[in-house]
Amino acid sequence: MSDKPILTTNFGQPVADNQNTQTAGPRGPALLQDVHLVEKLAHFNRERVPERVVHAKGSGAHGTFRVTGDITRYTCAKLFSQIGKETPVFVRFSTVGGESGSADTERDPRGFAVKFYTEEGNWDMVGNNTPVFFLKDPLKFPDFIHTQKRNPHTNLKDANAKWDFWSLSPEALHQVVILFSDRGTPDGFRFMHGFSSHTFSLYNAAGERVWVKWHFKTRQGIKNLHPTEAGRLAGADPDYAQRDLFHAIERGEFPKWRVCVQIMTQEQAKTFRWNPFDLTKTWPQGEYPLIEVGEMELNRNPQNYFAEVEQAALSPGNVVPGIGFSPDKMLQGRLFAYNDAHRYRIGTNYAQLPVNAPQCPYHNYQRAGSMRFDGNGGSGPNYEPNSVPGTPAEAPQFREPPLPLGDVSAWQYSHRDEDDHYSQPRALFELMDPGQQQLLIDNIAGSMKEVTQDGVVVRQLGHFHKVHPQLAAGIARQLGVAPAAYGG
């Protein structure tokens, strides 16, 4: 007698033969009454959910966040209430533009998305490994992503589309300079920082609000791949970053990040020389220093990739009392986009899936929908207010403090009017040593060499010239463009 459990159908019936289809005679044909065969084939056909429209290739791990610094003067969020307090987390790292089978070492920003399972619900910090982004208006996101994906005609990645769009969107310069520096090809996920990039807010028990940016500083140190090595690995080991993260955790080398905040008061925000809600800008750390909050450690690999990573649904809209949004219009666009994407990708009841469900009690009056599998509220009332004892009721003590907006009018304000696209990328370029500057020039020229569309190269060189004449000159030399052509 085998000690293996009996193989069954989805409905528990024992399967007597899992090797041979029922056929009319030894040579077939197959019989429709072989419901086990039909069930297996039909379920197999439905094994895939749509891949994420961006950030499709990713790796996940579980871990812990531990408070090391007191920020209770800024936030009443319970997860920060005590030094030493621990909160379970799930993290998903990703590349942005490639498909779910694409290479981990592509030049691309890396997603850095953390789900904190707090006692007051889930807080998701859905950031990147870069402190800024290419855009600052959500209306442009679908166009931008189209330029990073495949050309609809050739089905190839398209340097013309990328540089055409960037050359017409100078707000992208800061992120472009980061992307083509060595930080555009991190050596796996352990050796990079994470950023909220956006400004969020924190409010304390007295209802006082400050603006905040989140920083996750890798304890492993920054390590990036040289473009030649990144290119080699894209063929030799496309799953390089997944392999590195998984095996590091299996070996007990748990990666850690120092979690910090930058704080800006509402008064400071009024006189800050840039728009504090502009996602293409950083806040200089000399003026807004990092304040340590805690440490995040990843120490457990998922048991099942599909269940825990593919079905993970993170959203910048998931905040907890003590953490709020900001007027950043990109962030506001994202507040819609993610949960909408989850409903499409994994279904309306995605929040019930174990990786997404809160680890604190939760109850509301939402009911039914496809694949509801938690008892659907049982025999309790499905409306509120109600006079039934013991049913969930709103809790006004968690009301967020009001956000004053002043005397404003609704309009499509240009996000470029107030703009300085150049000084922060210039400061970054000047911070690089000559070797890094040369690598940046080589990387950009390498990509722009593929551009064939008229006018794009010259227009983009004009932007690079405004960032730094040396940057434009270096690229132009490799592309064989005379300085006079772009105003150099």
The binding site for ligand HEM (CB under 6 A) comprises 52-55, 58, 92, 94, 111, 113, 126-128, 133, 138, 141, 197, 312-314, 330, 333-334, 337-338, 341-342, 345
- Considering beta carbons, is residue 344 or 365 the nearer one to ligand HEM? 344
Minimum distance of ligand HEM from residue 49's CB (angstroms): 9
- Considering beta carbons, is residue 85 or 345 the nearer one to ligand HEM? 345
Is 465 labeled as catalytic in the residue annotation?
no
Q: Which of 36, 55, 342, 415 is catalytic?
A: 55
Minimum distance of ligand HEM from residue 196's CB (angstroms): 7
- Considering beta carbons, is residue 67 or 314 the nearer one to ligand HEM? 314
Is residue 238 within 8 Å of residue 103, measured between CB atoms?
yes
CA proximity to 189, closest of 88, 55, 317, 307 = 55
- Considering beta carbons, is residue 318 or 437 the nearer one to ligand HEM? 318
CA atoms within 13 A on the CB side of 282: 23
**Residue number, nearest CB to ligand HEM:** 111
- Considering beta carbons, is residue 255 or 474 the nearer one to ligand HEM? 255
CA proximity to 79, closest of 52, 46, 125, 116 = 116
Give the span between the Cα atoms of 104 and 416, in whole angstroms.
Answer: 34
- Considering beta carbons, is residue 281 or 468 the nearer one to ligand HEM? 281
- Considering beta carbons, is residue 339 or 478 the nearer one to ligand HEM? 339
Minimum distance of ligand HEM from residue 126's CB (angstroms): 5
Residue 390 one-letter amino acid: G
CA proximity to 351, closest of 76, 188, 124 = 124
Minimum distance of ligand HEM from residue 96's CB (angstroms): 7
- Considering beta carbons, is residue 309 or 476 the nearer one to ligand HEM? 309
- Considering beta carbons, is residue 54 or 76 the nearer one to ligand HEM? 54
Minimum distance of ligand HEM from residue 171's CB (angstroms): 13
Is 55 labeled as catalytic in the residue annotation?
yes
Minimum distance of ligand HEM from residue 165's CB (angstroms): 15
Longest dimension (CA), the chain: 85
Minimum distance of ligand HEM from residue 367's CB (angstroms): 24
Q: Which residues contact 41 (CB under 8 A, 6 or more apart)?
A: none
Give the span between the Cα atoms of 329 and 154, in whole angstroms.
Answer: 34
Minimum distance of ligand HEM from residue 229's CB (angstroms): 24
Minimum distance of ligand HEM from residue 342's CB (angstroms): 6
Residue that has been written with the tokens 């920054």 in this structure: 222
Q: Which of 62, 122, 128, 349 is catalytic?
A: 128
Residues with a catalytic annotation lie at 55, 128
